[in-house]
A and B are shown apart, each in its own frame.
Chain A
């Protein structure tokens, strides 16, 4: 794993993880923000990078849109120093944001430029999470440059799964190891047979699953408030994101199985039946 360097020594600083999906709207930005927040809560210095040049969103989700002065493109073109472009988050001392430019588009930087930008931050942070744009073109390629591993986000829908499959193929061709997050699962629908189950998705994609996030209204509320859902103690989704952060750090947290339905199931679960 990329958390160990060649001679089996301790984890080197700055593991770069790209969060991508292929399909748009499945929850990449939400996942990046929430994972960043969760990692920072665990005491890891984390930088989240918005690589969606021209359509930036990560700043809004984190509530930092009013504090942007410099962005990723400025660092790439040496207009400013790397330390000038990053913004500390409101709630945590460990979480920083490198925003994207809103006025340019994705062809303004090359893969090599992005890689060198990220390399400048590696020494300063435990984790660098790169929020990739949707698609498989230049924006995606820029985001993947320099990545050590990847997190693929998908929803349990056939269209998202097919796009995720494509992206997995592209990532393995770049020797970037992908891991899976299944977002917006609704266990009631799965039970009724209206939605693909976690097993179905795993069966098709065939990569390691590091998290399953249930559909949760709290996420929408959190996004509008500019606070990642992880800070909401009562949200199940927030809890799931924390679990994923733990797994990224190397903790062994088993994937939670389907929640029990109804009082009798709950009791029999308790009794270990």
Chain B
């Protein structure tokens, strides 16, 4: 654990190598726990912690985690430093829930009680009570953490338990976070209400995840997805990241067939883009009107740069983002009589993996996704 604590080499000699020893993360039934080795000195620790958090910023930010110190009690000074760093990244630390009487219901998800009580004496690279290596280094939390319902309730709704597979085998710890031991012994009634709310939150997030992944096809009822978006947005915190494009070009006109609007940066069009017209932008394309032509966002970037195409009424001939092309489904374009009766909803298109996904526009999710996609280019995870 002290491999990387030598003079000058602070906490990291490669991608996360130093992180392994000083800082690790683990998913629990209740949430994510970040464990910091108490033996490290303050500078190394804060450096490693920073590195650790930067690489996992996208899903940690705005969330709550448990904080644990491994290998003995740590000075309050160090604790302060750690908390400051966490705070910098917008990560809140929540106090541990002590295992009370209620937790005796938990069976298979907890290894055993004796381990929990004996945890504090374990070395950092400890083994669990079954003698298995602590393999947190292979552990990678991919999603937002969700407080899961208690084990007994999980049985009632096996679907939720099954899909939260990343929390399988997780252990509950009686830890000392900065709050100390005796925290939050929740009363039964309160927990039941919370339980219901949390269940619903999980379900909606799962539904929404499916919604994002489905590519736009003719069979998809894209207006039905609006429901998902609404539920999802309630559980998503507003993003605190800002993407500021000072070079956006705006035109107020209806783009007629044969006309072409090209810009290196983002494009905003107040008016319609009629069939046969083209919009080519190096950035995003936002049409405050009907989009019936061809739109090419992220046109000067092979990956598309995580750009999006938005329109109040998206009925495109073709959508292109980077090098990915998708055609409009054509259903509404030529069908007479339908067009003026249909109420259109604002939709947004972006690349997910190898296809372009079209879904009803939701400001909070789009803000989050946009920043995520933009930071790392074309995500296919």
Interface residue ranges, A against B (CB under 8 Å):
156, 158, 162-163, 165-166, 168-170, 172, 190, 193-197, 199-200, 203-204, 206
Contacts and interface: CB of A to CB of B under 8 A. Distances in A.
A196 B337 contact: yes
Contact of B258 (A156, A166, A196, A197): A166
Contacts of A199: 340
Main secondary structure of the interface of B (DSSP, over half): loop
A163 B257 contact: yes
Given A166-B276, A206-B272, A190 B257 contact: no
B257 A166 contact: yes
A196 B276 contact: no
Top-6 shortest CB links A-B: A169-B256, A165-B257, A166-B257, A196-B336, A166-B258, A193-B337
Contacts of A204: 274-275, 292
Interface of B: 254, 256-259, 272, 274-276, 292, 333-340
Main secondary structure of the interface of A (DSSP, over half): helix
B254 A194 contact: no
A190 B336 contact: yes
B337 A162 contact: no
Contacts, number: 53
B338 A169 contact: no
6 contacts: A162-B257, A165-B257, A166-B258, A169-B257, A193-B336, A200-B337
B337 A203 contact: no
A158 B334 contact: yes
A2 to B, nearest CB: 21
Query: Which among B257, B338, B340 has the highest number of chain A CB atoms within 10 Å?
Result: B257
Contacts of A196: 336-337, 339
Contacts of A197: 336-337, 340
Contacts of A162: 257, 274-276
A156 B339 CA distance: 13
Contact of B340 (A170, A195, A203): A203
B249 to A, nearest CB: 19
Nearest to B258: A166
Contact of A165 (B274, B336, B337, B338): B274
